[in-house]
Chains A and B, each alone.
Chain A
Amino acid sequence: MLQNVIIGQYYPASSPLHRMDSRSKLIAAFFYLFIVFLANNWVTYGLLIAFTAVTITLSKVPMRFLYKGLKPILILVVFTLFLHVFLTKEGDLLYKAGFLEIYEGGIIQGVFIAMRLLLLVLMTSLLTLTTTPIDITDGLEHLLGPLKKWKLPVHEFALMMSISLRFIPTLLQETEKIMKAQMARGADFTSGPIKERARAFVPLLVPLFVSSFKRAEELALAMEARGYRGGEGRTRLRALEWHKRDSFALILLLLLTVLLFVLRS
């Protein structure tokens, strides 16, 4: 049923990775996006794979869950692999059949690029698997805090995010309710040609929009009644705590970067 959908892909557990501050995880994931591109030979890729493997083990997230997150992009990875295998013409020719030529360089290049993609996705999934959406929002709000100076609505953005997260399950429940009501009136959401099916969703979408507007209005009033007046002078219950392990993790990442620089060809 719709109401059982888990938001985001957070995997609840208590691991060193789960306990890390969302800020350090965000910084690390962002940083990782860049250093992945430093690897260009077997040693550097091996290093990255080892680092990622250790991180995965530390996260206590079962492979099954990781795989679920990877599935949608697996096709892309395989596609990239083949693209490089067939189109790169470097190194020794390994195989030839008609106009199809496979070179050693092609295979290496293909594996590297596919690996790069895989590592990137693994690491970013780990971030969302070990951090709740609301913690990610908090982390982002803190990290982007300095941008407030340039009149960027960082607080408003974060509040918007957290209210959206809060209302996703509510809206899913409501969607199910309205769907059932329209089905009882003979609506059909599951069969028929695409064009008609799109039209079939009007009886679902209009009531959803109407009620969402009403909700937004009432919520704004309730917030005002509870003394909301923007981000100025607000304190926070949710506190982010930077521990030694966070600094340690970032230092480790720096070390990895230095190593990658040294060992890359």
Chain B
Amino acid sequence: MQGTPFERRALHDISLDINDGTFLALIGHTGSGKSTLIQHLNGLLKPSSGSIKMGSTVLEAGGKKQDLKPLRKKAGIVFQYPEHQLFEETVEKDIMFGPRNFGVSEEKAKKTAAKVIEMVGLPQTVLEKSPFDLSGGQMRRVAIAGVLAMNPEVLILDEPTAGLDPSGRVEIMELFYNLHKSKSLTTILVTHSMEDASRYADEIAVMHKGELYLHGKPADIFNQREALQQAGLDVPETVQFLMRWNERSGQNLSLSNFTIEELAKQVSQSLKKRGS
């Protein structure tokens, strides 16, 4: 869109290294550029300047047209409301769509379908059904299975829990977290939720107005509450509570992780110390 009235710079001067096996949470408000950024990662969008390197593949601005399939196979994207992409007559065929596009044989793709359907917590019997006869939550799982079937090394998740109820949200996030661990994936989670980021991520990147605003380990990010608030975000509730407690008690407790259990442990221990 360069040179037209519709040109709008969505991203500006972003440099970000993501190490193998990292769980990165990409946080920011709508329009902050986070969805645009992840679409660059598998060549759905191309940079106007700069380059993207994934493994051995390099995407360069102005570079010549190249076959993007290896890149797309390596980096699987689960889009927002992924159930909207289902189209086949049966769940099995739909899951096979990705592998077949990447040249996997029919037989092998079938085996993969049977494997990934269990990974997403659905029974084998679902494979023969039409995806459109399933419930909303099941459809989302099938769509996720369709991405997993490509056996990606990098899993990019664009608000994968949008529109789900709280228990559904937890189930889906646990699913991804377990996959991340068991298959040693590199995972990039686009989210609005600081809670999810604090629970699952090794690293957090905050996007604001098309720029990379903050990047670091969760503990470092949560130390900069003011900066977060300026970007319309806040620290997770466990940190909020800890700050309240420290302020009231004059203590200086810190957390080794950001779960409620850890917070309860720290607070109860400090109470016991005072009591004794």
Q: CB atoms of A and B under 8 A apart anywhere in the complex?
A: yes
Interface flags for B72-98 (1: CB within 8 Å of A; 0: not) read 110011010010111110000000011
A210 interface residue per 8 A CB criterion: yes
Residues of B at under 8 Å CB distance from A? 1, 6, 39, 42, 44, 69, 72-73, 76-77, 79, 82, 84-88, 97-98, 101-102, 132, 146-147, 150
A203 interface residue per 8 A CB criterion: yes
Complex CA–CA separation, A80 to B85 (angstroms): 47
Query: Assuming A186-B98, A210-B132, is B1 touching A1 (CB within 8 A)?
Result: yes
| Contact stretch, chosen from A117-125, A134-142, A177-185 | A177-185
Cβ–Cβ < 8 Å partners of B69 in chain A: 186
Cβ–Cβ < 8 Å partners of A54 in chain B: none
A188 interface residue per 8 A CB criterion: yes
Residues of A at under 8 Å CB distance from B? 1, 4, 174, 177-178, 180-188, 202-203, 206-207, 210-211
Select from chain A the residue with minimum beta-carbon distance to B69. Answer: A186
Smallest Cβ distance from B30 to chain A, in angstroms? 14
Query: Assuming A1-B1, A1-B6, A207-B87, is B98 touching A185 (CB within 8 A)?
Result: yes
Q: Which of A174, A184, A188, A211 contacts B44 (CB 8 A)?
A: A184
Q: Which of A181, A185, A188, A202 contacts B150 (CB 8 A)?
A: A185
Complex CA–CA separation, A178 to B81 (angstroms): 10
Complex CA–CA separation, A203 to B132 (angstroms): 14
A185 touches B84 (CB 8 A): no
Q: Which of B39, B73, B97, B101 contacts A180 (CB 8 A)?
A: B39
Cβ–Cβ < 8 Å partners of A210 in chain B: 86-87, 132
B44 touches A180 (CB 8 A): yes
Complex CA–CA separation, A183 to B73 (angstroms): 10
| 30 A–B contacts, CB within 8 A, in A order | A1-B6, A4-B1, A174-B84, A178-B84, A178-B85, A180-B44, A180-B79, A181-B77, A181-B79, A181-B84, A182-B85, A183-B44, A184-B44, A184-B76, A185-B72, A185-B85, A185-B97, A185-B101, A185-B150, A186-B72, A186-B73, A186-B97, A186-B102, A186-B150, A202-B87, A203-B97, A207-B84, A207-B86, A210-B132, A211-B84
